[in-house]
Structure 1
Amino acid sequence: MKKIISLFFLFFIYTQSFSQELLATVQVNSQQVGGSNQQAFKALEKSLRDFINNTSWTGKKLQNFEKIKCGFSVVIGERDGNRFKGSIVVQAMRPVYNTTYDSPLINLQDQRFGFEYIENESLIFNERQFSGKNLTDVVSFYIYLILGLDADSFQSMGGSQWYAKAQQIAQNSQNRNYEGWNTINEPRSRSILINEVMNPNWNQLRSTIYTYHRAGMDNLFNQDQTAGKKVIFDALMQLKMYENTFQQAFFFNLFMDTKSDEIFNIFNSGNNGGLILNDLKQTMIILSPKNIDNKWNKWKV
C-alpha cells in the first residue's frame, strides 16, 4: 500500500513539475495609488504569478528549458474599492538555437486595462465564457497570443490553434463594459489585433516570423553568419508587399516595434556577406519610418 502511495506521489510531482508552459515574471506597480492598502497589490502580484505559471495552457508537458520566458508588468493608475484601472506591459522571448541569446517575440503596452479583484481570491479562467471581472480574460488573451507567436516561430503557421483561443476570448469579452476589446472606436484593441493575426491577408507576416526565426536567427550564430543573414534579409524584404497597407495594421506595427532593435543590430556589424543593405534600408524606411534617424540611417550602406 505504501509503495502504491509513493508511486502516486511521484507521479503527481512529475506531472506538476512538467505541466506548465510559461516561465513568467509578474510585477504590480501601485505607486500612483500609494495611499491604498499595499497588501492587496502584493496579493494581486502573487495571484497573477501563480495563475500564469501554474495553469496548463496547452496540455503539453514541458521541462523548464522548453518553457517560454515572458513578463507581465501591471501599473495601477486608479482604484475604487475592488475595481482597478491601469496598464499592462506584455513581453516574451524565444531562445535562439545553440546560444544564450533570447529573441523578442512581443513587447506591447496595453493602456486600457480595467478589472475587478478581491484580495487573495482564486483566479479562475474559462475560455468558453467571460469571467465578469476582466482580469483573467486579458491575461489569458495575451498568454495565448504569446503561445501563438512562439509556435509560429518554430513551425510555419504553427500558432493557429492558440490564436483561435485568443480570438474566442476576445469574442467572449465584447460589450462587457470593459475597454480594450471593441473593434469600433478603439484603435489597437485586443480584438483588432487578434482579428488581424487570423486574417489570411497577414499570412505573409506570419510566414516571415517563422523564416526569420527558424531559418534565420537559429543559424545566425554559426561561425559563418552569411546564410543566416541572407535568410533574414530575404524574409524582411518579403514584407514590402505591405507597404501600402501597414500604416493602420496593429499586428504589423507590433512586429516592427518588437523587432526593430534586433533587425538594426543584425545588419549593423558591417559584415553582411555581400547583401545589398541599401535595399533593406529603403524597405525599413518605408515600413518603420519612426526609426529612420535612430536606426536605418545609421546603417553603413
Structure 2
Amino acid sequence: MMRKFLAALPIFALLLLAGPAARAQELLAEVRVSTENVTISDPTIVTSMQNDIRTFLNNRAWTTQTYRPEERIRLKIFIGITAIPQNGTYSTTMRLISTRPVYGTGYETNVVSIVDRNFNFNYSQQNPLDFSPNSFVSNLSSLLGYYAYLVIGIDRDTFARLGGTPYYELARNVVNYSANQTQTNEADEGWRGSGSRERHFILDNLTDPQLEAFRTGLYGYYRQGMDIFIEKPEEARASVMAALTGVQKAALTRPGTLFARAFFDAKSDEIANIFRTSQDQSQKQQLVTMLTEVDPTNSAKYQTVLK
C-alpha cells in the first residue's frame, strides 16, 4: 500500500487546509481511559471522555490528502487518570502506539511507542472538543492535535524520505501557541520543555538536522525494508540493517534521545524476528553488537537472534 503524497506546500497553506473543512480522516484511533488509581463517582464521564477523544481524532481532517478506509493510520491511546485535583481537571499519563501496514501482507507493524507522563487537561461533558491549527482552544485539544500531527509526520516519513516535514511544522506550531497562551487556567509547562520532556523533546529529535538519520532510517526500515520483505528478504534485511545503523549513529550523537527510546520500544521484538531466520551469521552478530550498545534495555531479545 502506498499513500499518495501531497506536493510540498507552504506552512501557511497547510494551516489553512488542515482544519475540519477538508475530509481526509487520516486516523483510526482506539482510546481507552483507565481510572484504576482514582475514584470517579459518575462513570459516564469516563465513557464520554473516551468517545469525545476518539471522535475528535477520527472524524477531523488533519491533512488535505485523501485516505482510503484501509489506509488510515491506526493508533492506540491509553490514558490513565492519576489524580483529579479539582472538579473537571485531570492529571493523567498517556501512552500512544501507532502502526503501519506492510505492503502486500495483512501484517500491521508498530511504528512508534510514545509515553507522555504529564498529559493533563480540563474536561467537561458539556463542552465539545474543538481545535484550531493556529490558536489555543484548550489543552486537551492542543495535546491531541500535537500528537495527531506527530503521528502523521512519522507515518509519512516511512513512505517517503523526509515526507513528514510539513506535519512536524504543524506540530511545532501547536507547541508554540500552547506555550505562549495566557488566556486560560491551563498553563502546561510541558509545552516549554520543563514539564513533559517526552512531548517537547521528541519533536526536537525529529527536526534536528544532526539527527536526520532517525527519519531517513524510518524510510529505509519500512519502505525499503519491510515493504519488500516477502519478495526479497535478504535485500530487505540489508536495508533494515542500514537503517538501524543510521539510527544507532544518531542515538550515539545525542545520547538519551527520546525518539530512539520510542523507536526501540516499538520495534525490538520485530527486529529480533526479522534477523532470527537470517542465514548470514556475520550480519546477525553485527546486529546484536550494535543494538546491545544503543538499546541495552532489550539486549536479551537481540541475543536470541544468535541462537
The offset of 1:39, in angstroms, is 0.9
Map of 2:6 onto structure 1:
none
The alignment status of 1:25 with 2:30, answered yes or no, reads: yes
Map of 1:9 onto structure 2:
none
**AA aligned opposite 2:284:** L
Map of 1:134 onto structure 2:
139
Q: Secondary structure at the match of 2:204?
A: helix
Q: CA RMSD in A?
A: 2.1
Residue among 224, 229, 243 paired with 1:235: 243
Aligned ranges 1:37-56 → 2 under 5 Å: 37-56=42-61
Return the TM-score normalized by structure 1.
0.87
Quick one: distance in 2 between partners of 1:84 and 1:58?
29
Map of 2:13 onto structure 1:
none
Residues 1:54 and 1:84: Cα distance change in structure 2 (over 3 Å): same
| Residue-by-residue CA offset, 1:35-72 (whole Å, 9 max, x unaligned) | 42111111111111111110000022222011111111
Aligned ranges 1:144-159 → 2 under 5 Å: 144-159=149-164
The alignment status of 1:172 with 2:177, answered yes or no, reads: yes
Quick one: distance in 2 between partners of 1:246 and 1:103?
26
Q: Secondary structure at the match of 2:77?
A: strand
Q: Which has the higher contact order (CA 8 A, sep 6+)?
A: 2
| Residue-by-residue CA offset, 1:132-174 (whole Å, 9 max, x unaligned) | x310111111111100010000000000001111111111222
Q: Percent identity?
A: 27
| Residue-by-residue CA offset, 1:72-113 (whole Å, 9 max, x unaligned) | 121111122011111111111010000011111111121101
Map of 1:278 onto structure 2:
285
Quick one: distance in 2 between partners of 1:99 and 1:300?
27
Quick one: distance in 2 between partners of 1:44 and 1:34?
15
The alignment status of 1:183 with 2:189, answered yes or no, reads: no
**AA aligned opposite 1:102:** E
Map of 2:228 onto structure 1:
219
Return the TM-score normalized by structure 2.
0.85
Quick one: distance in 1 between partners of 2:108 and 2:48?
30
Aligned ranges 1:234-273 → 2 under 5 Å: 234-242=242-250, 244-269=252-277, 271-273=278-280
Q: Secondary structure at the match of 2:147?
A: helix
The offset of 1:234, in angstroms, is 2.0
**AA aligned opposite 1:52:** L
Residues 1:273 and 1:17: Cα distance change in structure 2 (over 3 Å): farther
Q: Runs of 5+ in structure 1 lacking a partner?
A: 1-14
**AA aligned opposite 1:276:** Q
| Residue-by-residue CA offset, 1:243-279 (whole Å, 9 max, x unaligned) | 633422112222222211111111122x345652111
Quick one: distance in 2 between partners of 1:296 and 1:274?
13
Asked whether the equivalents of residues 27 and 72 of structure 2 are also in contact (C-alpha less than 8 Å), the reply is: yes
Map of 1:83 onto structure 2:
89
Q: Secondary structure at the match of 1:267?
A: helix
Q: Secondary structure at the match of 2:191?
A: coil
Quick one: distance in 1 between partners of 2:216 and 2:252?
19
The offset of 1:187, in angstroms, is 6.6
Map of 1:208 onto structure 2:
217
Residue among 96, 113, 116 paired with 1:110: 116
Aligned length: 282
**AA aligned opposite 1:26:** V
The offset of 1:189, in angstroms, is 3.3
| Residue-by-residue CA offset, 1:2-47 (whole Å, 9 max, x unaligned) | xxxxxxxxxxxxx999631111111111232234211111111111
Asked whether the equivalents of residues 171 and 191 of structure 1 are also in contact (C-alpha less than 8 Å), the reply is: no
